[in-house]
Amino acid sequence: MDVRIGVVQSPKEIELELPESVDPEQLGAQVEEVLSSQSGVLWLTDRKGRRIGVPAGRIAYVEMNTVSDERRVGFGAAVRG
**Cβ proximity of 60 and 41 under 8 Å:** no
- Three-state DSSP state, 55: strand
What band does 37 get if pLDDT is binned at 50, 70 and 90? Answer: confident
CATH number 3.40.50 is the correct assignment for the domain at 2-65: no
Digit-coded pLDDT (tens) for 40-62:
999 999 999 999 999 999 999 99
Distance separating the N- and C-terminal Cα atoms of the chain = 36
Residue 78: the pLDDT is 53
What band does 30 get if pLDDT is binned at 50, 70 and 90? Answer: very high
pTM of the model: 0.74
